[in-house]
Every structure is written in structure tokens, then in C-alpha cells.
A and B are shown apart, each in its own frame.
Chain A
């Protein structure tokens, strides 16, 4: 498994498409089953939001995805470095994304972080 992270609009998708020839599945609108079988999945943070909206256990889903789709390339925004949101559901989402991100990073062989389009390998080896 490979995790590509970084803030919004830092070049994650462009980097992924440059290095992997898989079609990219969008976590913002794909089915949850597709997420568990696709080779490349972006917007994992939005997938987490959708899981929470369906009252699903996003952390359990993330563990399951890691087990069932262990070669997936996952793109996940870093979203936790702002002010704590006023809205409770937003706080829960932000914290759940953090926990799911920790699960994905732990299970990944390689974690790459994009800042201004520049990749830094923060775990494992460069592709």
C-alpha cells in the first residue's frame, strides 16, 4: 500500500497519475465496495465523511480496506492543522480522518507527502 498525503491542491493527484497508470477512483462519489477493490483511490478524507454520514465505523472500514486491498494507492488530504471546528460533526470528521490516516500510514510501505508539488518520502523508499 502507498499513501500520498499533503494539504489540498499540493499536487497529489498529478504526482499519483505521473507514477501510476491506474485509473483513479474518487472517494467523493464511488461506492464503498469500489473503494475496497480499486487500485487507486483519491479523496479518502471525503470518503470518511460519507461513511460517517451513513453512520458507518470509518476506522473499521479503513482496517478492512487495508486487509482486502493491500496494494492500493491512496490519496488523503491533511486536514487537521486548523482551528477546532465549532460544529460537532465537523470535529468528529476531522478527528476520524486523523485516526484513519494513522491506520493507512501504518499499513503503507511508502508514505509520500506533497508540499507545493514537491514530494517528500516520509516513510519507506521513493518510487
Chain B
């Protein structure tokens, strides 16, 4: 089972994703992709840690190559989030790496190792601003990954100010 949760900034995606994880028993892994760098990243990480406290998650950090994460087969995994994962892979080694196919393939391999995979992503292409090449490429690549994952997901949910809107499944 794979569920994709999308939406804009601070619209309840994590809360929604965490509650989806409550439907399963057994060990639950929180797969964090945000590299802890800078004050705002630390405060976001702290906020999410507090939100997850007492929900029985084992936190594993994996910033790139998500399929290489070491978790037991058949685990339930919450992967948060694709926008950070893409930024980490796309801009690594100080180059712009076109990597949506690679990341989508990594995620599908991860899916095969899990009982339940809940994935948090973001909508980033709605502001209509013409960005320079790197950012424009990032918007395009995240859109491509989202489409590939959504096509393979059992369920796709968009959070609108905390309201889950079912787009698929």
C-alpha cells in the first residue's frame, strides 16, 4: 500500500500522514529527508519531533538514495518529504542533476520493501513566477516525481488548510 499526501505550506500534510500511519500495527519508521542546516530547519525539525512524540515512530535520516535505507522488510514507513529529497539529490555536488526518474525508481523500490509507505510531498508550481533555471527545473522535476508516484499510489490526498481532499483511491 502506498499513499501520497500533497498540499501547500503548513496545511496539515504531516498531521494527515501521521494519522494514516495509525492504521497499522508493528514498527513504524519515520524517514526524514531534511538536512539539519540553519535555524529554520532546526525549528521545523523540532516542531515535527514534538508532533511525532508518543506516536511510536523510529526516526531514520536518509537525505539521498532513499531505497538504501536500512529498515526491516514489511515495515511501515512515513517518508517526509519529497521536496527536500529532490533538493538534496538535484543540487548535490554543486551541479543541477536531472533526477526525477532516479528518485521515482528509488521510491518504488522502497515501496516493495514496505507494508505501508506514506509519502509527503509538496505543491510548488502554483505561484506563476518565472524563476531562474535551477528553480524552474526543480519545480518541473518535483511535478514529474509527484505524477509518477501518484500513478503508482493506491491513494492520493491533497491537504487544503487541514482538510483532506481525496484525489485518488
Q: With A95-B9, A98-B11 known to touch, is A81 a contact of B163 (CB < 8 Å)? A: no
A23 contacts partner chain B, Cβ-Cβ < 8 Å: no
B36 contacts partner chain A, Cβ-Cβ < 8 Å: no
- Main SS of the interface on chain A? mixed
B160 touches A79 (CB 8 A): no
Among A14-22, A31-39, A99-107, the one that faces the other chain is: A99-107
How many angstroms between the C-alpha atoms of A3 and B10 in the bound complex? Answer: 17
Task: Among B126, B161, B162, B163, point to the contact of A82 (Cβ < 8 A).
Answer: B126
Number of interface residues of B (CB under 8 A): 24
A98 touches B161 (CB 8 A): yes
Q: With A7-B126, A82-B127, A82-B129 known to touch, is A94 a contact of B162 (CB < 8 Å)? A: no
How many angstroms between the C-alpha atoms of A102 and B124 in the bound complex? Answer: 19
- Chain B residues 35-49 with CB under 8 Å of chain A are 40
A83 touches B165 (CB 8 A): no
Q: How many A-B residue pairs have CB under 8 A?
A: 77
B161 touches A91 (CB 8 A): no
A117 contacts partner chain B, Cβ-Cβ < 8 Å: no
A81 touches B161 (CB 8 A): no
Q: With A3-B161, A104-B161, A122-B165 known to touch, is A81 a contact of B126 (CB < 8 Å)? A: yes
B163 touches A122 (CB 8 A): yes
CB distance from A87 to the nearest CB of B (A): 13
- Main SS of the interface on chain B? loop
CB distance from A59 to the nearest CB of B (A): 11
- Chain A residues 84-98 with CB under 8 Å of chain B are 84, 91, 94-98
A2 contacts across to B, CB distance below 8 A: none
Residue of chain A at shortest CB distance from B15: A102
Task: Among A7, A94, A111, A120, point to the contact of B161 (Cβ < 8 A).
Answer: A111
A49 contacts partner chain B, Cβ-Cβ < 8 Å: no
User: Can you list 19 A-B pairs with a CB-CB distance of less than 8 A?
Assistant: A78-B160, A78-B161, A80-B8, A80-B10, A81-B8, A81-B127, A82-B125, A82-B128, A83-B135, A83-B139, A84-B9, A94-B10, A95-B10, A96-B10, A98-B9, A105-B160, A106-B162, A111-B161, A113-B160
Other A-B contacts than A81-B124, A95-B10, A102-B161, 4 sampled, CB-CB below 8 A, are A78-B126, A81-B8, A96-B10, A105-B162
Binding site for B on A (CB under 8 A): 3, 5, 7, 76, 78-84, 91, 94-99, 101-102, 104-106, 111, 113, 120, 122-123
